Amino acid sequence: MTQQYNISFPQGSNPYDTGQPIRRSGKPFLGCFGIIGFIVIGVIIIIAGYFFVYPAMTPNKIRGSLLDFAVVPQKDGSTRLWVLTDGSFNFIQTTKSPGSYSTGRKCYFCKTWMYVVDPINQNVLNKTKTEYDDIITTTNLVYCNGKVYQVTYGYGNNEPKMITANAETGEVIMDTKEFIAKHSELSSGLADVRYNKDENVIEFKTKDGKENVTYSLDQEKMYPSYSDYRKMLDEDTSPGSEFVLAQEKSGSSSRKVLYLCKGPMGLLKENRSSLDNYVTTESTLEFFVKGATGQKLSDKVYLEGIMYYQDKDCAIIIHVDQIGKVADRMMTCIDNTGKEKWTIPQDDLFKQMKINENKDSFSSIFFTKDKIGVIRSGNLVVLKLQGEGIMGFDFNTGKKLFTMDI
């Protein structure tokens, strides 16, 4: 026999009665969607404040992640830094659909900021915004002959850009359309653009299929092809010299020594990327670069050395103190006689330049070497570490003059 029990509560004392309107789900009126909505609105307000309100309140602050920079001398003997940053809101987006899965970087408010900065007091003298339709992958700033060039590679919805500005005033002299209009070789439009740092030229691919149309920044002259440009170099027989960091004859690829190679300037420029293979043997150098000679400047070994900058006065090499998974980087300046002017130790460089593969395999030389850049102008040497910032050093003494975290 089954007994039945009836349980009742006094009016208003039912513990399951919340006194709120009940939906089918049994949840309060606002529910999860209302809370999520408030969170989304809050996030939008924070983002809008960061990208619009905060910049208006801090006009002298450099913002965004560092892309590139140029050191620009002024007529009065001072120096300006042109600093290019990515001011976009970047994020990783994953898209899933039946049969496919993709992950990639996207951006909102896609743009770059160009800052003209007095590096000593770090005052922002001018800034310019350039908007893009997609993420910014690679862009270069180059100073040459009183002009600053911004070369931006095409990617996704971004068209290739080629902007020329006056180095004194910052005023844009030519935008991409005006540059194309000036050079008939580019009349069909740009399909791609690349900057060649070793030869200081810009190479174009056009929409009608032309490849390696070459513009010499030194000469401010367009060549129909790279081979035409190289032919011009062959005809330059003026005397010149090049620093060459070559593998020591012992056979170890990690041990590098510095040479000074002299010969016809055109041939030295034409063979610049291969001189390290020729310079250690006089007969080989003469065979490939007729009229050239090579002199080893010292027996000093630069472990895993990379020459990031050279001119007629000096070479600047970044190397490590030992071979292994953990090592300190250092930066050394050598004059054209082979004498070391100064060496900057790891403690005075960016701490992120230290190699420690035990903590992070991406800190290796292989993964970080292309993030480093060095430029000299007059008495100022500037070191860049992409994603971290810029440091300035006195050319004569190696004394650190400033650090800009970007």
Q: What share of the chain is helix, strand, coil (3-state, %, to 5)?
A: 20, 40, 35
Can you tell me the mean pLDDT for 216-234? Answer: 94
Cα 306 from Cα 245, distance rounded (Å): 7
Percent of the residues in the chain that have a pLDDT greater than 90, as a whole number: 64
pLDDT, tens digit (0-9, with 9 covering 90-100), for 240-281? 999 999 999 877 899 999 999 999 999 998 898 899 999 999
Cα 363 from Cα 398, distance rounded (Å): 25
Give 186-213 as a DSSP string.
Answer: GTT-EEEEEEETTTTEEEEEETTS---E
| pLDDT above 90 for 196 | yes
Per-residue pLDDT at 346: 97
Cα 318 from Cα 320, distance rounded (Å): 7
Q: How confident is the model at residue 76 (pLDDT cuts 50, 70, 90)?
A: confident
| pLDDT above 80 for 53 | no
Count of CB atoms situated within 10 Å of the CB of 276: 16
CA distances to 122, 320, 395 from 392, rounded to whole Å, are 11, 20, 9
Per-residue pLDDT at 3: 44
Q: What are phi and psi of 166, to 5 degrees?
A: -75, 125
Percent of the residues in the chain that have a pLDDT greater than 70, as a whole number: 86
Per-residue pLDDT at 401: 95
Average pLDDT, the chain: 87
Q: How confident is the model at residue 6 (pLDDT cuts 50, 70, 90)?
A: very low
Cβ atoms of 178 and 171 within 8 Å: the answer is: no
pLDDT, tens digit (0-9, with 9 covering 90-100), for 334-372? 999 999 999 999 999 999 999 999 888 888 898 899 999
Better-predicted residue by pLDDT, 91 or 343:
343
Can you tell me the mean pLDDT for 300-327? Answer: 96
* Top-confidence range, 75-79, 90-94, 336-340: 336-340
pLDDT, tens digit (0-9, with 9 covering 90-100), for 362-402? 888 988 999 999 999 989 999 999 889 999 999 999 999 99
Per-residue pLDDT at 240: 93
Query: What global pTM score does this model have?
Result: 0.79
| pLDDT above 50 for 145 | yes
Instruction: Check the CA dihedral 178-182-188-190 and report its sign.
Output: negative
All structural domains of the chain: 237-299 (no CATH), 301-406 (2.40.10.480)
| pLDDT above 80 for 2 | no
